[in-house]
Amino acid sequence: KTICYTVGRPPWYNSHGQMKEAFLIGLCGGSASGKTTVAKDIIDVLGVPWVVIISLDSFYKVLSHEEHLLAEKSEYNFDHADAFDWKLACETLKKLKEGKSVQIPIYDFATHSRLDKQKTVYGASVVIFEGIMTFVCEELLELLDMKIFVDTDSDIRLARRLKRDISERCRDIHGVLKQYDKFVKPMFEKFIAPTMKFADIVVPWEGENKVAINVIVKSIKKQLEKRGFNFRADLITEHEGKPLP
């Protein structure tokens, strides 16, 4: 679920040829809280190019054979902090922050595994990093320029998760409910809910919240301006003085 919005010339070099730091937004919230929709709404209203959404899901660890058998029976804990490759996640985000290109693993929920191919992201001016535990790792927390928590009622999250896991992740109703009771709910209380205190902004979410999105976008734009991003000018070639196609 890595999504890139790109147009024209990458704007992360200033007029002296130095790289500008990417603006890194952490988007945290329980499973099926609507993190992806919030990220897309921010991007729509922000309306600047070279924005990328990276998902923490891409950094799920590769399972051993035994762990894989447990996952098939909904008995593997994907909601524990140890389920993620934090080292790789931090390295990747650091590189992106420096404006460098990165390879992002592609995760397949149906088979609980990484695909053989990876997605290349060629750098970005804004990176939205979304996931259930984006505020859990201290090293990663320090990289974030803005921290947003999506706060959605647990009944709504369970209903969404049931629908999604059955239709998109090849699960059955019994497996989804078993996993929810055994892992998703208790791990939310243990790992995710306590990290809400790290958020700069908590967004109450039931499908939309235009006021919150506008406030967030205003703040991002202000900070991008401070960093010298001028997207209109960056889309003009100095050589010809004409907009790039």
CA angle in degrees (0–180, nearest 5) for 187-191-193: 100
We find the least distance from the C-beta atom of residue 19 to ligand CTP, in angstroms, to be 29
Contact criterion met (CB below 8 Å) for 42 and 146? no
- What DSSP character marks residue 196? G
Say whether residue 2 binds ligand CTP (CB under 6 A).
Answer: no
* DSSP codes, 22-49: PEEEEEEESTTSSHHHHHHHHHHHH--S
Of residues 20, 35, 114, 147, which one binds ligand CTP by CB under 6 A?
A: 35
Quick check: 232 and 244 in contact, CB under 8 A? no
Binding of ligand CTP by 148 (CB under 6 A): no
Q: Per this entry, what is the length of the chain?
A: 245
SS3 233: helix
Least distance from ligand CTP to the Cβ atom of residue 155, Å = 15
Position 58 contacts ligand CTP (CB under 6 A) = no
Question: How many CB atoms sit inside 10 A of residue 43's CB?
Answer: 18
Instruction: Tell me if 212 contacts ligand CTP by CB under 6 A.
Output: no
For 129, other C-beta atoms within 10 Å of its C-beta total 25
Min. distance of Cβ 93 from ligand CTP in angstroms? Answer: 16
Radius of gyration in angstroms for the set of CA atoms belonging to the chain, rounded to a whole number: 19
| Total interface residues for ligand CTP by CB under 6 A | 18
Measured distance CA(16)–CA(105) in Å, rounded: 33
Name which position in 2, 20, 23, 29 contacts ligand CTP (CB under 6 A): 29
- Choice from 32, 89, 102, 192 touching ligand CTP (CB under 6 A): 32
Among residues 31, 92, 134, 195, which is the contact residue for ligand CTP, using CB under 6 A? 31
Binding mask 91-130 for ligand CTP (x = CB under 6 A): ------------------x--x-----------------x
158 makes contact with ligand CTP (CB under 6 A): no
Residue numbers at the binding site for ligand CTP (CB under 6 A): 29, 31-36, 55, 57, 60, 71, 78-79, 109, 112, 130, 132, 184
